A and B are shown apart, each in its own frame.
Chain A
Amino acid sequence: MKAYCRSVFLAALLASGTALGAAPESKDPIKLTIHDWTGQYITTHIMGRVLEEMGYNVEYQQADYIAQFAGLESGDLHVAMEMWETTGKQAMDESLKTGKTVDLGETGMKAIEEWWYPLYMKEKCPGLPDWKALNDCAEAFSTPETHPKGRYLGGPVTWAGFDDERAEALGLDYEVVHAGTDAALFAEIQSAYERKAPILAWVYTPHWAPIKFKGEWVEFPRYSEECYNDPKWGMNTEKAYDCGKPRGWIKKVGWKDGEAKWPCAYQAVRNFTISNQAMGEMVGEVDLDGKKVDDVVENWIKNNEDTWTKWTQCS
């Protein structure tokens, strides 16, 4: 019945000419990229469902987070719903310079992804969260494989993030080990947390981990563009990356020519926004409560019609 009501509502909008007037301009599928974390899956499927409601055909395409820019520039892929300032800013800037991709604006979510430890490790390393305490506690964070060096479990190498460079530039006595996948990363964190074993790892949010695990992020020198681009900046005057990761926006980015092909769809993508609060709750429903992503997305679509129908306004 709700689908019927929605159809009636959308038909009324169409008839009034205030929205969806020209959509869909092409029945060719709009290819949205999918990565390997729950929040991105939710974001992308919400957008996909809205585009479908507008009459577009949508395809979801698994793609590597950074390598996807090649596909976005060639037009093999069309829209990526989550490019994080924390890890994707440089790749996005480089891609935008080609003129083949277009910045489709912020999602409204604000991100952090940084070195994280469970609160019980603070007893063994009371100087935390100050990064300068890390070397004093390297042994406490070590494993048999890395001893006496500490071990930092980073994200998959495809996430970039410059943690190897960061450890070197800041002179940290840590080995950076990369998890193979998002699932492997958080499985290891969960296992360590349950055993109260040492763990220092990449944790980001919006995500369920900071909800489930009590912990803190390490406070590195604050990021600046100079830190990443100018080795002379910061405490290590010979190396870049002697600071934390950027924090901030999560943006949408797309194939530039797609804007001419599907102008109303691109306008809807530009209009898409969602809060950290809403996303955090949906991620929790999926990863902590065991609900299916599709059900959570459908529920959001059903309960937020006033929100997403505004995205479909097309001038």
Chain B
Amino acid sequence: MRTIFLALLTAFALAVVTSCGKDDDAPPAPEENADTTTAGPTVKVSADKTHAVQPGDEITLTIEVSGFTLDPAKMEQTNEDGVGHYRVYLDDASGADYLIEGADNSTKVTVPGDITDGSHDLRVVLHNNDRTPLEPAAEGSVLLIVYRL
């Protein structure tokens, strides 16, 4: 009887120890918005700061792409299906009016000094090697809440 009791006690103790700090301790997922076209490459973007953003702040974007390969070595080379890079735009900007261009899965973007106080989108738009946007477009975005203090 004493052996059974000790075994049960040990099992209970193990259960307590293994339950402390399990998955329910996991931090919440970072701010993330995904917006993609259908049946093509997809882009997910998250940012380390999206609230109370100040002009001049440096924001780190994490970019996850599927169905597409980001390859910095191929920029300005011949187009290749499913290979290219991205440009980061603010709101409705397009063409050469981008904030940064790259192919890394993490990049830093500086919030423009003349940005207005309000809600703004940072859009990550996939581009071909020759710097033309994908057709159909493939992009993801994060929302920034900007106000000067």
Residues of A within 8 A of B (CB): 1-2, 4-5, 109-110, 112, 114, 116, 119, 129, 205-206, 210-211, 213-217, 219, 247-248, 275-277, 279-281, 299, 302-303, 305
Contact = CB atoms under 8 A, between A and B. Distances in A.
Interface stretch (B60-68, B97-105, B113-121): B113-121
Contacts of B16: 1, 4-5
A112 B147 contact: yes
Interface of B: 16, 19-21, 24-28, 31, 49-52, 116-119, 143, 145, 147-149
Contacts of A4: 16
B33 to A, nearest CB: 10
A205 to B, nearest CB: 6
Contacts of B118: 116, 119, 129, 210, 214-217
Contacts of A112: 117, 147, 149
B28 A216 contact: no
A132 to B, nearest CB: 15
B28 A211 contact: no
Contacts of A276: 51-52
A213 B119 contact: yes
A221 to B, nearest CB: 13
A247 B149 contact: yes
B117 A248 contact: no
B119 A2 contact: no
Query: Nearest 5 CB-CB pairs, A to B?
Result: A216-B118, A276-B52, A280-B51, A276-B51, A1-B19
Of listed A5, A206, A210, A281, residue having the most chain B CB within 10 A: A210
B117 A129 contact: yes
A210 B145 contact: yes
B6 to A, nearest CB: 21
Contacts of A109: 52
17 contacts: A1-B20, A2-B24, A112-B117, A129-B116, A211-B143, A216-B116, A216-B117, A217-B117, A219-B117, A247-B148, A277-B31, A277-B50, A280-B145, A281-B31, A302-B25, A303-B25, A303-B28
B149 A110 contact: yes
A280 B49 CA distance: 11
B119 A214 contact: yes
Contacts of B117: 112, 114, 129, 216-217, 219
Looking at chain A's contact residues, is the secondary structure mostly helix, strand, loop, or mixed?
A: mixed
A112 B116 CA distance: 13
Nearest to B27: A303
A244 B26 CA distance: 41
B145 A248 contact: no
Of listed B19, B24, B119, B148, residue having the most chain A CB within 10 A: B119
A222 B118 CA distance: 16
Of listed A4, A114, A276, A299, residue having the most chain B CB within 10 A: A276
Contacts of A219: 116-117
A214 B117 CA distance: 11
Contacts of A216: 116-119
Of listed A109, A214, A248, A305, residue having the most chain B CB within 10 A: A214
Contact of A205 (B19, B21, B145): B145
Given A1-B20, A5-B21, A206-B51, 14 more contacts: A2-B19, A2-B24, A112-B117, A206-B52, A210-B119, A213-B119, A215-B119, A216-B119, A217-B116, A275-B51, A276-B51, A277-B49, A280-B50, A305-B25
Nearest to A207: B145
Nearest to A213: B119
Contacts of A119: 118-119
Nearest to B25: A303
Contacts of A302: 24-25
B28 A281 contact: yes
B45 to A, nearest CB: 16
